Amino acid sequence: MLERSRLYEELVRQCTATRMDRFNFYQTLRNYYLFGSADAKGAPYNKIGSTVETLASFIYSPDTLRFSLQLGTEASHDDIAKAVPLAREVTEQWRVSKTHILFGVALRWAHVFGITLLKVLWKGNRTRSYLVEPHQFGVLREDLTELSDQEAFTHHYTITKTQLGHDLKGNPRKDTILGRVGRGGADSLPQMSTGLSRLLVGSPVGGVPGSIAIPGGMSGIEGGIGGSGRGPTYDYAPQVEVDLIDMCDLYVWDDEQEDYQVVTRAAPDVVIYDRPSRWMGHVKGIAPFVTVRPEFNLYDYFWGSSFVARLTWLQDWRTDRTYQIRALLTKQVNPPMTMIGGVGISEEKFLAYGAAGGRLSSSVPNAKIDVHAPHMPENIFTELSQIDSMFDDQAGLGHVLQGKGEAGVRSRGQADLMARLGSSRPKERAIAAEESAEEVAGLVLRLTQDHSEQRFFAHLEGQTLPFTAEQFTRDYEVKVDGHSSSPIFVEDRKHDAITLLEAHAIDRETLLDLFDPPNLQDLKERLKVLEKHEQEAKKLEAQMAQSGQAPHKGKR
Q: What ranges do the domains of the chain cover?
A: 521-551
CA atoms within 13 A on the CB side of 424: 4
- Say which DSSP state 212 is in: B
**Cα(242)–Cα(240) distance, integer angstroms:** 6
Q: How far is CA 469 from CA 262, 328, 457, in A?
A: 27, 69, 10
pLDDT at 350: 67
Q: Looking at residue 396, what is its pLDDT? A: 83
Which of 59, 100, 11, 5 has its CA nearest to residue 441?
A: 100
How high is the pLDDT of residue 416?
A: 53
> Is there a contact between 400 and 320 (Cβ–Cβ < 8 Å)?
no
CA distance 87 to 481: 10
d(CA 185, CA 9): 12
The string of pLDDT tens digits covering residues 80-115 is 999 999 999 999 999 999 999 999 999 999 999 999
The pLDDT score that the predictor gives to residue 517 is 74
Look at residue 66 in the predicted model and tell me its pLDDT.
Answer: 87
Among the listed residues 205, 175, 194, the one whose alpha carbon sits nearest the alpha carbon of residue 112: 205
CB 220 within 8 A of CB 320: yes
Q: Are 71 and 473 contacting, i.e. CB atoms less than 8 angstroms apart? A: yes
276, 254 contact by CB (below 8 A) = yes
Q: Would you tell me how many other CB atoms lie within 10 Å of the CB of residue 141?
A: 14
Question: 354 to each of 328, 351, 478, 507, how far by Cα in Å?
Answer: 18, 5, 72, 78
pLDDT at 544: 83
One-letter amino acid at 310 equals R
- Does pTM top 0.75 for this prediction? yes
Instruction: List residues bridging with 367 in a β-sheet.
Output: none
pLDDT of 313: 95
Burial per residue of 49-82, b for 16 or more beta-carbon CB atoms within 10 angstroms, e otherwise: bebbebbbebbbbbebbbbbbebeeebeeebebb
What would the pLDDT profile of 196-230 be if each residue is shown by its tens digit? 333 333 333 443 333 333 333 333 444 433 344 56
Contact 456, 89 (CB under 8 A): yes
Q: Which residues of the chain have pLDDT under 50?
A: 193-228, 400, 412, 414-415, 417-418, 555-556
Distance, C-alpha 115 to centroid of its chain? 9
336/353 Cα distance (integer angstroms): 12
